[in-house]
């Protein structure tokens, strides 16, 4: 049996169509800022890609800025907006990706206030409680992820934005995990800033984008020449920009596949594991989740022991880490109040558009056998 890849939330392969779209630009080397024919060809390619990203997100092409990835987009959004605020105070959640949490910690060290809002046991924020926080605290900027990378829970961004706009706040969402898997429309979400990571939607690593609402003031993160309409210095990477554009075009056409085919496989996988593994629970089961994501916690086993058993057969991620014999539980699972005896045995299984039912059947068998072996080797762990 060939190894089965079920870690699509970590990264995705470059799709064949995306790879093909890149080929001409290994030879088309013009600088998009140049006025000669070589530069103009590159500029057309960049503009076409920008339009494709904009279509996926439901915005104007001129509201899209290319970045080196989701992390840069997040850094730019948070640092660029708060640097222009006299008394900046960010409201974010306890389950954000480190690309948000560590930016907040950096900004805290530079005088920016931060409130880390809790989530409920289902992994979703309590909107009513957030309304109270927004009324009582002097918040200036809200950043809440659209969908969680570990458990797949989807946040009510539109409701959060509605609350924030009552206080004239800037709203950002990290859509690295949601873009391409579920509909993402900036008008529907009513956000001012939104981050995208190319390698999460079958484009290469090293490319992303930031949606910035027209008219929003945002301090530059990278200074230099006047690229990206004077807002992001650095000669555009035409090769990767073209790839992201193609990936977004394909994602727009495959949303239905994610919503139906991938979800059906995920639910079958979930059912199979729950039927065969005693004392297992699905994290975020009661909430709306990404169609491809399954976070399962198993009682009295260690996820690193399971991963060791399956490492050559199934690729997935753990919800805990083991360092020098000490088990470190994911902050996301801690925030969701998953009991430690369950949290330590958590696996994140994330499917992709090429995942087959045979893959799921084989992966389920491998995981079930691994859990049985670990339980036999470590009874009452």
pLDDT tens per residue, range 237-247: 999 999 999 99
Q: For residues 65-99, b (16+ Cβ closer than 10 Å) or e, as one string?
A: bbbbbbbbbbbbbbbbbbbeeeebbbbbbebbbeb
Per-residue pLDDT, 324:
42
Angle at 290 between CA 263 and CA 261, to 5 degrees: 20
The ranges assigned to domains in the chain are 4-11+254-377, 16-251
For residue 154, the 8-state DSSP code is B
Q: Is 48 helix (H, G, I), strand (E, B) or coil?
A: helix
Separation of CA 20 from chain center: 25
Q: How confident is the model at residue 226, as a pLDDT?
A: 80
Residues with pLDDT less than 50, the chain: 322-325
Tokens matching residue 374: 């670990």
Q: Give the Cα separation of 101 and 118 in Å (integer).
A: 13
Q: Helix (H, G, I), strand (E, B), or coil: what is residue 261?
A: helix
Ordered alpha helix ranges (H), 152-300: 157-165, 186-189, 227-230, 238-257, 263-276
Under 8 Å CB-to-CB from 55, ≥6 apart: which residues?
A: 248, 249, 252
pLDDT for 321: 54
Q: What pLDDT sits at residue 320?
A: 58
pLDDT of residue 205: 98
Burial zone of 356 (CB within 10 Å; 0-12 exposed, 13-18 middle, 19+ buried): exposed
Catalytic residue check, 59: no
What pLDDT is recorded for position 234?
94
Distance CA 37, CA 24 (A): 15
CATH topology of domain 16-251: 3.40.640
Decide if 53 contacts 197 (C-beta within 8 A). no
Residue carrying structure tokens 């109040």: 337
**Residue 101: how many other CB atoms lie within 10 Å:** 19
Q: From the candidates 59, 104, 316, 322, which is the catalytic residue?
A: 322
Class of domain 4-11+254-377: alpha beta
Q: What is the predicted pLDDT for the residue at 379?
A: 66
Q: Which residue has the tokens 């990706």?
A: 97
What is the predicted pLDDT for the residue at 300? Answer: 86
| Angle at alpha carbon of residue 365, lines to 359 and 367, rounded to 5° | 100
pLDDT of amino acid 319: 78
Element (DSSP H or E) covering residue 131? helix 127-136
């Amino acid at each position: 049996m060939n190894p089965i890849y079920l870690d699509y939330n970590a990264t995705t392969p470059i799709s064949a169509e995306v790879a093909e779209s890149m080929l001409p630009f290994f030879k088309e080397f013009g600088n998009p800022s140049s006025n000669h024919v070589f530069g103009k060809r590159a500029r057309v390619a960049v503009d076409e890609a920008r339009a494709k990203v904009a279509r996926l997100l439901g915005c104007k092409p001129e509201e899209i800025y290319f970045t080196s990835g989701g992390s840069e987009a997040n850094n730019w959004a948070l640092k660029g907006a708060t640097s222009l605020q006299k008394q900046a105070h960010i409201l974010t959640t306890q389950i954000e990706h480190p690309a948000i949490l560590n930016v907040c910690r950096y900004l805290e060290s530079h005088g920016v206030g931060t409130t880390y809002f809790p989530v409920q046991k289902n992994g979703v924020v309590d909107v009513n409680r957030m309304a109270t926080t927004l009324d009582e605290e002097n918040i200036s900027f809200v950043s809440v992820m659209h969908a969680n990378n570990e458990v797949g829970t989807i946040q009510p961004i539109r409701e959060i934005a509605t609350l924030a706009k009552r206080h004239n706040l800037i709203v950002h969402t990290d859509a690295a995990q949601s873009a391409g898997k579920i509909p993402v429309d900036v008008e529907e979400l009513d956000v001012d800033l939104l981050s995208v990571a190319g390698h999460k939607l079958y484009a290469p690593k090293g490319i992303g984008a930031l949606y910035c609402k027209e008219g929003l003031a945002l301090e530059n993160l990278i200074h230099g020449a006047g690229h990206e309409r004077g807002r992001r210095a650095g000669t555009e990477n035409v090769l990767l920009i073209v790839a992201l554009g193609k990936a977004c075009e394909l994602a727009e056409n495959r949303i239905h596949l994610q919503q139906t085919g991938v979800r059906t496989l995920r639910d079958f996988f979930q059912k199979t594991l729950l039927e065969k593994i005693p004392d297992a629970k699905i994290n975020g089961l009661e909430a709306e989740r990404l169609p491809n994501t399954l976070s399962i916690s198993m009682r009295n086993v260690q996820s690193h022991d399971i991963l060791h058993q399956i490492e050559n057969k199934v690729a997935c991620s753990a919800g805990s880490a083991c360092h020098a014999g000490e088990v470190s539980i994911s902050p996301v699972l801690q925030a969701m109040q998953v009991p430690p005896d369950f949290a330590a045995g958590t696996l994140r299984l994330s499917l992709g558009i090429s995942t087959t039912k045979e893959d799921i059947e084989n992966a389920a068998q491998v995981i079930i056998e691994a859990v049985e072996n670990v339980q036999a080797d470590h009874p009452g762990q």
